[in-house]
Structure 1
C-alpha cells in the first residue's frame, strides 16, 4: 500500500520461515533519536528545518495513501545509507490506521473515549482527551517533535507518577496548561504558527501540507541557509574525522 513512496522502506521479501512470519526490509541508518543523542541532544535551526521539510512530506504521503501513522516520534524516522544518506525514512506502521475508504474517501466517524494510542510525549491534545485520531494529530505530534529538537526536551518530560495512567494524565495536564507561545518561546514564530494551525484543524479536515512546508522553507531562506543537506551530524563526523 505504501511501497514506491519517497522515504518509505522497500520490502525485499516477505513470507513464512518455520513458525515465523518474516518481512525483509532494506537496511537503513540511525534514527533521528540516535542522531539527536550523537549531537548532544540539540539540533541547529538549519537541521530542524531541513528535517521539517522531509517529515511533513512523509506524513503527507502516508495520508495520501489513506492511512494515519499514529506514532510520530524521533525513533520512527531513520536516515538512509550511502547515496540515500540525506533521505529521511518513516518506519513502524504497527499503530497505523486507515482513516478513509480508498475509493469513496469516506472518512472514519468521530468518536470519543478512545485509549491513548502512540507515545504520550508526542501525543496531540485531542489524543489525550480520548478523541479518535485523524490527519491533524500526526501533524500536531510532528510539531512537538520539532520543538523537542529545538529545545532539547519538552516541558512534560520526566514527570513522576505511580501508574502509567497517572503519568499520562500528568503529561496531558502539563501539555494543556503550556501555551504554544511558551513552548516555542525564543524560537522563530513559524513554530508557533505551525502548532496553532494543527490545533485549529477540524476532525475530517485535510491539512494544507504545502502551506506548512512553505512556512518553514520561507524561514529557511530568510535565515540565509542553503539546501546542501549538510546536517549537524555530518558536521560532527567531519570534525571527528579530521
Structure 2
C-alpha cells in the first residue's frame, strides 16, 4: 500500500547578525546616517509583509537581520511566529522583556492585528536607535 505525505517547508536565505547585535558590536550606537538607512530598509521590509495582508506583531531590532555577501547591505525581517492576517482578533501572550518597549498602544489594549500597530512599533524601534545615537554623540 502506497502513502503520500505532504510536508510544508520554509526555505530562508542565510542571514548575518541582527540589528541589536550589530549595535552592540558598534559600542551600543549607530551613526545617525545608519539609523536613517536602517529606518528605510526596515520600513520597506514591513511594507512588503503588509501588502501581502499580514501583520508581524513583533517588530524589534532582534527581528531584523543583515544579509550575507552581495546582500550584506539589505535588511531582512525574520521571526514570523506572531504574524497573523490583518484584522484578525488574536489571543495575546505575555510579551518578553525585550519586546515590551516596542509594543504599540493597540497591542497593550489587546486589540485586533493592524498594520498601524507594526508601524508604531517600528517608530519606537527607530526612535530608540536615534536616542542612543544622539546621547552617545554629545
DSSP-derived class of the 1:152 partner: helix
Q: How does 1:80-99 map to 2 (within 5 A)?
A: 80-99=67-86
TM-score with structure 1 setting the length:
0.47
CA distance in 1, matches of 2:33, 2:104: 25
**Selected match of 2:92 from 100, 115, 139:** 115
Match of 1:52 in 2: 39
Match of 1:65 in 2: 52
Cα RMSD of the aligned pairs, angstroms, is: 2.6
Runs of 4+ more than 6 Å apart: none
CA distance in 2, matches of 1:22, 1:115: 26
Distance verdict in 2 for CA 1:117–1:61, change over 3 Å:
farther
State the Cα deviation string for residues 8-67 of structure 1 (Å, max 9, x = none): xxxxxxx86xxxx86442211110011010111111210010111111111111000010
TM-score with structure 2 setting the length:
0.80
Q: How does 1:173-192 map to 2 (within 5 A)?
A: none
Q: Which runs of 5+ in 1 are unaligned?
A: 1-14, 100-107, 154-185, 188-242
Contact 2:67 2:75 in 1 (8 A): yes
Q: Which runs of 5+ in 2 are unaligned?
A: 1-5
CA distance in 1, matches of 2:105, 2:72: 34
**Selected match of 1:146 from 103, 126, 131:** 126
Contact 2:84 2:113 in 1 (8 A): no
Structure 1 residue 31 corresponds to structure 2 residue 18: yes
State the 1:126 CA deviation: 1.6
Which structure ranks higher in relative contact order (CA pairs < 8 Å, sequence separation ≥ 6)?
Answer: 2
Larger Rg: 1
CA distance in 2, matches of 1:58, 1:69: 10
